[in-house]
Chains A and B, each alone.
Chain A
């Protein structure tokens, strides 16, 4: 399987990447590590006419402390996040979840920015970004802006990013509460989550329980009203619309969500 024909352009700066993307228009795509986009292109589910390779922009590959936040460059790989001492100590949820993405080969290539911008509801890091209350910094034809994670994921593979707009940095305030957990259920180690859960403090987010990663608002509300983990977890599937597919019917996912949320809340409470 090979992708449909496209024109490959390599950017050597963010500025150049934006210019190349502007020239490419709506049929252009940024390529970071390529481990979300390339499989779709090989299946011809994505058929961009122009690929703008941003994979060598060292200026977007970093993890640093910045004014009470951890700032993560969009090109930090899953492997780098999993091994980062700073991420491990300040954002253990992110470090742990990044180490659970795919397999070592995928983690050597795949990037956090690529995963977020791709917005696959079955991916791990979008839900983690929701649970961490992340803010995304972007640069585009009309300048720079910040988008909070709750406003970023609009639909299946659809985000608030405009054509030619590049996600450059993920900013996460250092969590107040030490409790966190990440749970995912897969048939094989390398599979996408059938259902997953990310918990940071009182924030609970779900993987693969709808067309986008979603906050488990009913669970968060139950926790806020003083319910314990198992009572709150009973609301895990409330208001969700999980897919019905080869990996399981909707009711199975709803059941999994309740079980995984309970485990996640218990683990998070034990860590807090």
Chain B
């Protein structure tokens, strides 16, 4: 079927098989390979992207379900700017990544969290990231990064 998805603000249209998953549409059709396929069973969160602004696991969404909707991947977080998004800056500053495989999903889940709850407690950050697994077990610094990004976003 013909699917048209706004990916990072750009319309991507393609004829794809009905069973195409959103993550494969992003990687293979849109050519955006930051979004990883991890567990492929909607457990690990490595494939997390924003669909109409809210976090979803793109390995469990059909491209057809995203037809006509807006997807944001980590590549599109800071728009056309050369600057990193505040969440990306916070992950770098707080050493919120080791091997980096879970990072795009962690960042997108964290951006979605702050959109819903701009000032989360540490407990709320940990709970909100329960659907994102880090095999390096770097959770402490990831949580620190999200809290730092939240505090940067608050008027002082």
A residues apposed to B, CB below 8 Å:
1-8, 10, 31, 34-35, 38-39, 42-43, 51, 53, 55, 79, 102-106, 108-109, 188-190
Which of A2, A102, A104, A190 makes the CB contact (< 8 A) with B19? A2
Query: With A42-B41, A105-B45, A105-B131 in contact, do A34 and B65 touch (Cβ < 8 Å)?
Result: yes
B residues apposed to A, CB below 8 Å:
1, 17-21, 24, 40-43, 45, 48, 51, 54-57, 59-62, 64-65, 67, 109, 112-113, 127-128, 130-132
What CA separation (Å) do A105 and B61 show in the bound complex?
A: 11
Query: With A1-B40, A109-B60 in contact, do A104 and B18 touch (Cβ < 8 Å)?
Result: no
Which of B24, B113, B130 makes the CB contact (< 8 A) with A2? B24
Query: With A39-B60, A109-B61 in contact, do A189 and B130 touch (Cβ < 8 Å)?
Result: yes
Which among A5, A31, A106 has the greatest number of chain B C-beta atoms within 10 A? Answer: A106
What CA separation (Å) do A53 and B48 show in the bound complex?
A: 22
What CA separation (Å) do A53 and B62 show in the bound complex?
A: 10
Which of A2, A4, A103 makes the CB contact (< 8 A) with B131? A103
The reply to whether A109 and B64 contact each other, CB–CB distance below 8 Å, is: no
The reply to whether B64 and A108 contact each other, CB–CB distance below 8 Å, is: no
Query: Distance (Å) between the CB of A71 and the closest chain B CB?
Result: 24
8 A-B pairs, CB-CB below 8 angstroms? A2-B20, A34-B61, A35-B42, A39-B41, A39-B42, A51-B18, A53-B62, A103-B45
The reply to whether B64 and A10 contact each other, CB–CB distance below 8 Å, is: yes
B residues less than 8 Å from A188 (CB atoms): 130
The reply to whether A105 and B62 contact each other, CB–CB distance below 8 Å, is: no
A residues less than 8 Å from B40 (CB atoms): 1, 42
The reply to whether A5 and B17 contact each other, CB–CB distance below 8 Å, is: yes
Which of A4, A34, A189 makes the CB contact (< 8 A) with B62? A34
The reply to whether B48 and A105 contact each other, CB–CB distance below 8 Å, is: yes
The reply to whether B127 and A2 contact each other, CB–CB distance below 8 Å, is: no
What CA separation (Å) do A1 and B21 show in the bound complex?
A: 9
Query: With A39-B60, A105-B48 in contact, do A190 and B130 touch (Cβ < 8 Å)?
Result: yes
The reply to whether B112 and A104 contact each other, CB–CB distance below 8 Å, is: yes
Query: Distance (Å) between the CB of A31 and the closest chain B CB?
Result: 8
Closest residue of chain A to B1 (Cβ to Cβ) is A8
The reply to whether B17 and A55 contact each other, CB–CB distance below 8 Å, is: no
What CA separation (Å) do A108 and B60 show in the bound complex?
A: 12
